[in-house]
């Protein structure tokens, strides 16, 4: 059996021009593989810690040299000689070496890079694609993408409060057709914005980022773009939003610029109800804030039978908070971000907990990304049926879509695109 021989760590750049971590794991049989970690902007307060140097003279304090040193000095000697295939043992070792509940000693960015590089190296050593190595032979489901085509909130410098407006091509027959339709809608949206003399520059996740009248106008624009591109809203293509509402929540109120007033949780839910009535809105992520647990329970009561209610900041890919959400019946879906928790093993445990309770799991990128495509393979391996990885534009976003196209091609006739069936939690 191959053994880990060397661990190389490098400070590289993410899609926002901030430093992040790359790890290359070398095995004693000559195989080597690399993983790169992403970075969020609208991070949940309970996420595992992304360690940064804080040295204002380098990268405005965002350098990751401490992380690189932790990998070289602490992690490498501890995992050298281990079998890369024993993911559980490697991840357990990483968690023990760190010893904190939030991975704050070594940094979740250090730990995740090594954890993922081990999986990649193992898959390579066995000459298997990553999704098969992680998921086994029965992995035919390619996910329905949620494509963020209009950016606001913390991902754009505009007056739109909600962070993400997404199109969901769940009515198309395959991922290939779903992506084609989505790219066509994306380009049509661009021409509509141009006609209205609105900005067509893009935000962090590749979606357009125009200044608009209010938080509803993006939904009108998306509806129009879908129709104009020749598709049926609510049949071929649905809509989804991620208001990332923790970002505009303070003192128990939601502070919406466009409303010019502060809304209670109940008023926010009523606002969502009116949007769900007016548009084919099928998924709402972080509709309420990360500490508004009672609000989430009410949101689930009022909209849970019609809409996928995705917890992101609320549960931060951590079984402790997912368990709480399940017990309170506070959502029906959970966003899965590897770097919120820090190891592949813990991520898989979170997915299992979510799915075994009949909720859906949406595998997600971060707003700061690299060309790493691990999440595409993970979405197929874990059979989640959903992936959220930005617009069909910007290299770091399309890298994931292109990887999914390769997987769908490789699966051939066996590939299953679940379409609306992926929405099991609201059927």
Tell the smallest beta-carbon distance from residue 389 to Zn ion (Å). Answer: 12
118 or 330: whose CB is closer to ligand PGA? 330
Nearer to ligand PGA, 50 or 408 (CB): 50
Question: What whole-number distance in Å separates Cα of residue 14 and Cα of residue 238?
Answer: 30
Confirm or reject binding of residue 120 to ligand PGA (CB under 6 A).
Answer: no
For residue 36, state whether it binds ligand PGA (rule: CB under 6 A). no
Q: Which stretch binds Zn ion (CB under 5 A): 51-59, 178-186, 286-294, 400-408?
A: 286-294
Both structure tokens of 410: 């490789």
Q: Which of 380, 391, 382, 386 is nearest to 421 (CA)?
A: 386
Kindly report the number of other CB atoms within 10 A of residue 191's CB atom: 13
Calculated CA dihedral for residues 147, 152, 158, 161, nearest 10 degrees? 150
The CA distance from 365 to 143, in Å, is: 14
Catalytic residue of the set 50, 164, 205, 247: 205
CB of 147 to Zn ion, least distance (A): 14
Q: Which is closer to Zn ion, CB of 285 or CB of 290?
A: 285
Binding mask 202-231 for Zn ion (x = CB under 5 A): ------------------------------
CA-wise closest residue to 67 among 47, 45, 39: 39
103 binds, among ligand PGA, Zn ion, none (CB under 5 to 8 A by kind): none
Structure tokens at 57: 């003279």
Of the candidates 383, 367, 390, which has an alpha carbon nearest to the alpha carbon of residue 415? 383
Q: CB 361 → ligand PGA: shortest distance, Å?
A: 14
The verdict on 40 binding ligand PGA (CB under 6 A) reads yes
Among residues 84 and 342, whose Cβ is nearest to Zn ion? 342
CA 385 vs CA 98, 116, 164, 377, 382: distances in Å: 33, 21, 20, 12, 9
For residue 301, indicate whether it is catalytic: no
337 carries an active-site annotation:
yes
- Which strands form 261-263's sheet, in the order they lie side by side? 249-250, 253-256, 261-263
Q: How far is the CB of 258 from ligand PGA (least distance, A)?
A: 19
Please pick, from the candidates 53, 161, 242, 408, the single residue that binds ligand PGA as defined by CB under 6 A.
242
Regarding 312 and contact with Zn ion (CB under 5 A), the answer is yes
Residue 207 binds what, of ligand PGA, Zn ion, none (CB under 5 to 8 Å, by partner type)? none
Least separation in angstroms between residue 335's CB and Zn ion is 6
Q: Which of residues 311-350 bind ligand PGA (CB under 6 A)?
A: 312
40 is in the binding site of which of Zn ion, ligand PGA, none (Cβ under 5 to 8 A by kind)? ligand PGA
For the packed helices 265-278 and 293-303, what is the interaxial angle rounded to 10 degrees? 30
Q: How far is the CB of 158 from ligand PGA (least distance, A)?
A: 15
Q: Which residues contact 319 (CB under 8 A, 6 or more apart)?
A: 346, 349, 350, 353
Strands 386-388, 360-364: pairing kind: parallel
Residue 242 in the binding site for Zn ion (CB under 5 A):
yes
Residue 87 near ligand PGA by CB under 6 A: no
At residue 149's C-alpha, the angle toward residues 224 and 206, to 5°, is 150
Nearer residue to Zn ion within complex by CB, 161 or 242? 242
∠318-319-320 over CA atoms, to 5°? 90
Where does this chain touch ligand PGA (CB under 6 A) — which range of 49-57, 319-327, 359-367, 416-424?
Answer: 359-367
Q: Which of 337, 369, 396, 408 is catalytic?
A: 337
What positions carry a catalytic annotation?
205, 337
Enumerate binding residues for Zn ion (CB under 5 A): 242, 285-286, 312
């Amino acid at each position: 059996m191959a053994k880990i021989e060397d661990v190389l760590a490098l400070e590289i750049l993410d899609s926002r021009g901030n430093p992040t971590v790359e790890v290359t794991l070398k095995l004693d049989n000559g195989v080597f593989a690399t993983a790169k970690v992403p970075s969020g902007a609208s991070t949940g307060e309970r996420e595992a810690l992304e360690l940064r140097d804080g040295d204002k003279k380098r990268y405005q304090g965002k350098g990751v040299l401490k992380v690189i040193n932790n990998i070289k000095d602490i992690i490498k000697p501890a995992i050298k000689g281990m079998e890369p295939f024993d993911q559980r043992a490697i991840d357990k070792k990483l968690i023990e070496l760190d010893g904190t509940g939030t991975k704050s000693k070594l940094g979740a960015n250090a730990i995740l890079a090594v954890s993922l590089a081990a999986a990649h190296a193992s898959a390579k050593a066995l000459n298997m694609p990553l999704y098969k190595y992680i998921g086994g032979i029965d992995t035919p489901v390619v996910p329905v993408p949620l494509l963020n085509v209009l950016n606001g909130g913390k991902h754009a410098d505009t007056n739109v409060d909600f962070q993400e407006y997404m199109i969901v091509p769940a009515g198309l027959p395959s991922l290939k057709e779903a992506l084609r339709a989505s790219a066509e809608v994306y380009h049509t949206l661009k021409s509509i914005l141009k006609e209205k003399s609105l900005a067509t520059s893009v935000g962090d996740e590749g979606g357009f980022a125009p200044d608009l009248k209010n938080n509803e106008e993006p939904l009108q624009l998306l509806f129009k773009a879908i129709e104009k591109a020749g598709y049926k809203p609510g049949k071929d293509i649905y809509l989804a939003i991620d208001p990332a509402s923790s970002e505009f929540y303070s003192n128990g109120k939601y502070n919406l610029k466009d409303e010019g007033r502060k809304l209670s949780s109940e008023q926010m839910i009523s606002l969502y109800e009116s949007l769900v009535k007016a548009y084919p809105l099928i998924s709402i992520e972080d509709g309420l804030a990360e500490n508004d647990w009672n609000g989430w329970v009410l949101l689930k009561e009022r909209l849970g039978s019609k809409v996928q209610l995705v917890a992101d900041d609320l549960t931060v890919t951590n079984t402790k908070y997912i368990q709480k959400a399940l017990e309170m019946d506070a959502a029906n879906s959970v966003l899965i971000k590897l770097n919120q928790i820090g190891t592949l093993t813990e991520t898989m445990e979170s997915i299992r907990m979510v799915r075994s309770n009949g909720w859906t799991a949406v595998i997600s990128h971060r707003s700061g990304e690299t060309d790493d495509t691990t999440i595409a393979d993970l979405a197929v391996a874990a059979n989640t049926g959903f992936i959220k990885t930005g617009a069909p534009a910007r290299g770091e976003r399309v890298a994931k879509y292109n990887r999914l196209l390769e997987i769908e091609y490789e699966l051939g006739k066996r590939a299953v695109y679940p379409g609306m069936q992926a929405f099991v939690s609201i059927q």
